[in-house]
Amino acid sequence: MKGKFITFEGIDGAGKSSHVDWLADYLRQRGKVVHITREPGGTALGEKLRELLLNQAMHLETETLLMFAARREHLAELIEPALARGEWVVCDRFSDATYAYQGGGRGLDRAKFLALEHWVHEHLQPDLTLLFDLPLDVARERIVRAHRVLDKFEQERVDFHDRVRQAYLERASGNPSRIRVVNAENSIDHIRKQLEKIVLTIC
Ligand code: TYD
């Protein structure tokens, strides 16, 4: 039996991370073995690359290649073995983030993204992607309210985040059965009820 791969996506400040733990607990209560992980990161090497990627300025293609290098390691070390054992993986961001941030936000050539996606995970896509969507000003307000040091992406200008959001929505409309858009402005309770309904479709 193959496990299921669920990813969470959205612009910075969409509040997806708080729902990751909740969904994993929900699935565990239904008897699943669940791994929570994130990108960039999820392995010892991946977390080192994350530190660089979130803080160090670099060429766009270097950034993209490092995202996919971390991803290759993550797939080999954690995601693929867990799925092969029939376990579930809940991952905070995956390749849709590269499509949206490096592609939409920074303007990476689409063909280069597709070539890397094909190379790194030709035969694997998430079974379900939850895209947390909300207006930029609401997301920004949440980030400011959190009072923490902003990473390289969070420090980008509003037009960057607008392009990221549009790229996510475009990717969602091209993959409607995999990517489900969640209105991140709704209350936590409302969102949880919606997540329950969506996730039951793949249980
Ligand atoms: P994020 O997931 O928002 O973590 P936190 O909740 O701790 O802030 O941070 C990861 C950042 O990395 C986010 O701004 C998006 C960016 N990113 C990319 O640009 N490309 C990618 O392929 C991935 C996975 C993330």
Q: At what angle do helices 136-145 and 158-174 cross, to 10 degrees?
A: 120
Q: What percent of the chain has pLDDT over 90?
A: 99
| Dist. CA 132–CA 183, nearest whole Å | 6
- Report the residue among 12, 60, 117, 145 best suited for mutation to probe ligand 1: largest number of ligand atoms under 8 A from its CB: 12
Predicted local confidence at residue 73, as pLDDT: 98
DSSP labels for 109-139? Answer: -HHHHHHHHHHHHTT---SEEEEEE--HHHH
Tens digit of each residue's pLDDT (9 = 90 or more) over 5-18 = 999 999 999 999 98
Residue nearest to atom 14 of ligand 1 (CA): 153
Whether the CB of 92 sits within 6 Å of ligand 1: yes
Residue 1 pLDDT greater than 70, yes or no: no
Give the contacts of 46 (CB within 8 A, at least 6 positions apart): 39, 40, 70, 71, 73, 74
Cis geometry, peptide bond prior to residue 126 (ω within 30 degrees of 0): no
- Report how far ligand 1's centroid is from the alpha carbon of 84 (Å): 26
Residue nearest to atom 17 of ligand 1 (CA): 97
Residue 177 pLDDT greater than 80, yes or no: yes
Q: Which atom of ligand 1 is nearest to the CA of 101?
A: 19
Tens digit of each residue's pLDDT (9 = 90 or more) over 99-144 = 999 999 999 999 999 999 999 999 999 999 999 999 999 999 999 9
C-alpha closest to that of 133 among 45, 15, 38, 21: 15
Mean pLDDT of the chain: 97
Whole-model pTM above 0.95? Answer: yes
Tens digit of each residue's pLDDT (9 = 90 or more) over 43-87 = 999 999 999 999 999 999 999 999 999 999 999 999 999 999 999
90, 37 Cβ separation under 8 angstroms: yes
